[in-house]
Amino acid sequence: MDTMGEQIQRIGVLTSGGDAAGMNACIRAVYRAATSAGVQVYGIRNGFTGLINGDMVLLERKDVANIIHLGGTVLGTSRSEEFKTEQGREIAAHNLRKNDIGGLIIIGGDGSFKGGHYLSEESGIPIVGIPGTIDNDIIGTDFSIGFDTAVNIALASIDRVRDTAISHGRLFFVEVMGHSSDFIALESGIAGGAEHLILHDSHNEIDYLCEKLQTMFAQGKRHAIVVVAEGSHPGCSFGLARKVTERILVESRVCVLGHTQRGGSPTARDRVLAAKLGVCAVLALMDGNNGIMVGEIKHDIVYRPISEVASGHRVPDSRMTRLSEILSGYTPSLSPLS
């Protein structure tokens, strides 16, 4: 352990950006790991907004008791415009120093990491990031906290919608979250047996979708589920459904899942991931690391420069899209996955 690591007696932890199930389990893990090493933990309320406002409190054991199963974040979260300015980050750094906080753990997505990177570069305060977003689009980790829960919530909804689709012989468009990411749509669609996936780059492929559905219905199929990635325009499924039903004259319904995918009790997979990353983030700070994100790749803990993580988005393996096509039962030109 180097000199920098030995000097840290207090660390801060905050959650930033969109909430994700498992953030509370991660806060708990950070607290348990730090206190076992004799380090105090300050919880910063409402993300970077709280950092600027000095809204932080010394966490005690009771503060993290019985939160491992809770969705959302007990610390609160926000998106701060003021923190995007150098002046805002100066205030945040001052508040950290005023409370003798020697390192900061940020649980969030690429935007949160970008802000943390600037704060560290400008102030010298050590920063370690933990990926927490349902989008699962963070470079440097196979999975982010909250993704598995969001997929399972979407899957449960698809299963329920299918019961109604079968009963009434209808076409359903189920819209899932993801902003610029296709991960939720791909995994929930494949797991839910969707007949078609409309990803972010295929919102205009109406001709192909109509041809596919017409072929399926002509072969005797009475219902179909189309999973839609919302993209930058939540509610886009209504327009897609209208265009399709005008073309193929099949009764359709739209189900927009929206923010229901963020809430709820985290799955076991998200709780374990949160525990591993929370503990390893504390150990990374104690070992003198700075400007990194802690991730998991093929079950191994890895560190990536936070500047690198914040500079782009992870995209799904193209073979997943091909897999969904094969499993839909409509494969006019079958080609291998590899």
What residues are labeled active site? 135
Residue 263, CA distances (Å) to 169, 177, 331 in order: 31, 12, 36
Q: Which helix (H) or strand (E) holds 142?
A: none
List Cβ<8 Å contacts ≥24 apart for 325-331: 327/190, 327/193, 328/194, 328/195, 328/196, 328/212, 329/195, 329/216, 330/195, 330/212, 330/215, 330/216
Residue with tokens 């994700």: 20
Question: Distance between terminal CA atoms of the chain?
Answer: 44
Nearest residue to 25 via CA among 201, 195, 202, 270: 270
Supply 236's token pair.
Answer: 């886009």
Going by their DSSP bridges, the two strands 300-305 and 292-297 should be labelled as antiparallel
CB 178 within 8 A of CB 184: yes
Nearest residue to 269 via CA among 100, 142, 162: 142
Side-chain-side CA neighbours of 281 within 13 Å: the count stands at 37
Residue type, 231: G
